[in-house]
């Protein structure tokens, strides 16, 4: 979960800057959910196409191992309560995963129908159908277990923290979440492209967890406002799921100029305010080629930027963005400048361009990514008025020390068996579904530990 920290510049554009203006109706259209929900009829038709595999590969491919054939079968039989329960039982973040999971590389990619040269079952849309039903009917499938007299503190109310809290409540633990932001949800609330999922849904999903009797202390930063020692004194165990920190800096001259910002800050601002209140320039450069870079680029375009250019020092085959994200960005009219290395941000009072050189790639290096070298005399300037950094988030080293954890590479590790770590801060950055799986797993581990 990203944190607003003093070190991170607030949003890019100040009043008076030249910004594109789109009519509100157009903005609403541009940010409408990208995949429309299935109608009940279409859901029934799709559900009936599912073969109901035994030991299904879709279930194996899901980090939370949702019993996919079972929940789809229940849709087919009209058992919507049962269907929603099967999904949410395995994955407390079932709503957001239905919208934001990279299903092409997970459940839908594993569907056996792919091997019959057919389209896979639309698992994500069916999952959304069932979870939307649950929200629409105010259906709470779970209840808190009988109080067992033990308590757990969770640091961070993102997908991992919420998932852990949900299952700990079901086991009967008293749970308190400490969240530095003013509302729960983590990246679900602040970091998912607007056209994939909106804030109210993330909050409703969080509420479903909190309604089981989870105490949340928002605006409280562990390590500053309350010490880790305090938590360890007051609670039987602690689960740390604080996500990652700010986006990496470019490390080139001029990057503190007005007009250069962290892509995540841009996305968060867009999600947390009416669309027209987020301002973007007319010529935007996004540096990086991961999924966050794509989210930033497509949304800049949808806000009305005339030209959006993604700059990446390697080639398309090296991008960490998923194929369908790349396709979406191209569809939205974003340009890609591959083999292009940023060297300096140009401008006096504010950004006017990004100076780059060309690069050539060679054989893969030790990290699997191919090595590259700069091409002499290839310097050029890409004119722009906005630059968004999307080079990946950094581990929250500052907090690690305060929490008594250490960082190995980009992963936080705990040596204390009663302090568990999960989510992005443990993995170095993964999907919501991985965070949810971590949270569920942590709850199980804590339960085992404290039941001894």
Q: Which residues bind another protein (CB under 8 A)?
A: 41, 44-45, 48, 51-57, 60, 76, 112-113, 115-116
Angle in degrees, CA 300, 305, 308, rounded to 5: 70
* Nearer Cβ to another protein (75/208): 75
Nearer to another protein, 52 or 327 (CB): 52
Residues contacting residue 246 through CB under 8 Å, at least 6 positions apart: 2, 3, 5, 7, 8, 262, 264, 393, 394
Q: How far is the CB of 117 from another protein (least distance, A)?
A: 10
406 Cβ contact list (under 8 Å, min separation 6): 400, 412, 413, 415
Instruction: Report how far Cα 116 is from the mean position of its chain's Cα atoms.
Output: 32
3-state secondary structure of 370: strand
Residue with tokens 């340009």: 335
CB of 52 or CB of 225, closer to another protein: 52
Rounded Cα distance between 85 and 139, Å, is 9
Angle between helices 68-76 and 40-49 (to 10 degrees): 130
Q: How far apart are CA 322 and CA 326, in angstroms?
A: 6
Cβ distance to another protein smaller for residue 12 or 107: 107
Shortest Å, Cβ 40 to another protein: 11
CB of 430 to another protein, least distance (A): 23
Task: Output 44 or 371, the one with its CB closest to another protein.
Answer: 44
For another protein, the closer of residues 56 and 436 by Cβ is 56
Which residue, 55 or 349, is less far from another protein as judged by CB?
55
Query: What single-letter DSSP state applies at residue 343?
Result: E
Angle, nearest 10°, between helix axes 123-136 and 68-76? 60
Nearest distance from C-beta of residue 54 to another protein, angstroms? 4
Shortest spacing between CB 76 and another protein, in angstroms: 7
| Cβ 59 to another protein shortest distance, Å | 12
CB of residue 367 to another protein, shortest distance in Å: 25
Rounded Cα–Cα distance for residues 336 and 15 (Å): 29
Query: Which is closer to another protein, CB of 118 or CB of 234?
Result: 118
The least CB distance from residue 128 to another protein, in Å, is: 19
Least separation in angstroms between residue 57's CB and another protein is: 6
Local structure of 175: helix, strand or coil: strand
Q: How far apart are CA 177 and CA 188, in angstroms?
A: 16
CB 155 within 8 A of CB 222: yes
Rounded Cα distance, 97 and 64, in Å: 10
Query: Could you tell me the two tokens for 430?
Result: 């993964």
Task: Give the C-alpha distances (Å, rounded to integers) separating 147 from 90, 157, 173, 209, 360.
Answer: 22, 22, 6, 16, 62
């Amino acid at each position: 979960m990203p944190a607003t920290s003093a070190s991170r510049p607030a949003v890019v554009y100040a009043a008076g800057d030249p910004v594109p203006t789109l009519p509100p109706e157009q903005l609403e259209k541009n940010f409408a959910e990208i995949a429309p929900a299935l109608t009940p009829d279409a859901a029934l038709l799709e559900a009936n196409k599912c073969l109901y595999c035994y030991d299904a590969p879709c279930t194996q491919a899901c980090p939370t191992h949702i019993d996919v054939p079972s929940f789809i079968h229940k849709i087919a039989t009209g058992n919507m309560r049962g269907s929603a329960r099967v999904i949410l039982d395995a994955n407390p973040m079932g709503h957001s995963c239905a919208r934001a999971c990279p299903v092409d590389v997970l459940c839908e990619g594993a569907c056996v129908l792919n091997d019959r040269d057919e389209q896979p079952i639309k698992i994500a849309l069916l999952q959304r159908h069932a979870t939307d039903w649950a929200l629409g009917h105010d259906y709470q499938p779970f209840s808190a277990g009988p109080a067992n007299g033990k308590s757990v503190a969770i640091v961070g109310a993102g997908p991992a923290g919420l998932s852990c809290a949900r299952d700990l409540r079901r086991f009967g633990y008293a749970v308190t979440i400490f969240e530095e932001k003013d509302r729960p949800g983590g990246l679900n609330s602040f970091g998912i492209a607007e056209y994939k999922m909106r804030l109210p849904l993330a909050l409703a999903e969080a509420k479903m967890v909190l309604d089981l009797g989870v105490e949340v202390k928002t605006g409280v930063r562990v390590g500053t406002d309350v010490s880790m020692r305090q938590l360890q004194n007051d609670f039987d165990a602690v689960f740390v799921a604080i996500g990652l920190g700010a986006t990496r800096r470019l490390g080139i001259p001029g990057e503190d100029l007005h007009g250069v910002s962290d892509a995540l800050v841009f996305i968060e601002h867009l999600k947390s305010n009416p669309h027209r209140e987020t301002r973007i320039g007319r010529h935007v450069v996004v540096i990086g080629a991961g999924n966050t870079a794509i989210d930033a680029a497509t949304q800049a375009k949808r806000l009305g930027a005339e030209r959006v250019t993604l700059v990446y020092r390697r080639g398309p085959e090296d991008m960490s963005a998923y194929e369908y994200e790349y396709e979406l960005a191209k569809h939205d009219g974003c340009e890609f400048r591959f083999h292009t290395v940023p060297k300096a941000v140009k401008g006096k009072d504010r950004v006017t361009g990004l100076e780059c050189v060309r690069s050539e790639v060679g054989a893969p290096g030790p990290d699997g990514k191919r090595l590259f070298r700069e091409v002499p005399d290839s310097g050029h300037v890409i004119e722009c008025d906005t630059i968004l950094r999307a080079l990946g988030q950094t581990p929250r080293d500052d907090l690690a020390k305060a929490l008594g954890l250490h960082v190995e590479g980009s992963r936080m590790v705990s040596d204390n068996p009663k302090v568990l770590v999960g989510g992005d801060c443990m993995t170095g950055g993964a999907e919501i579904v991985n965070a949810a799986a971590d949270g569920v797993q942590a709850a199980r581990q804590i339960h085992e530990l404290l039941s001894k």
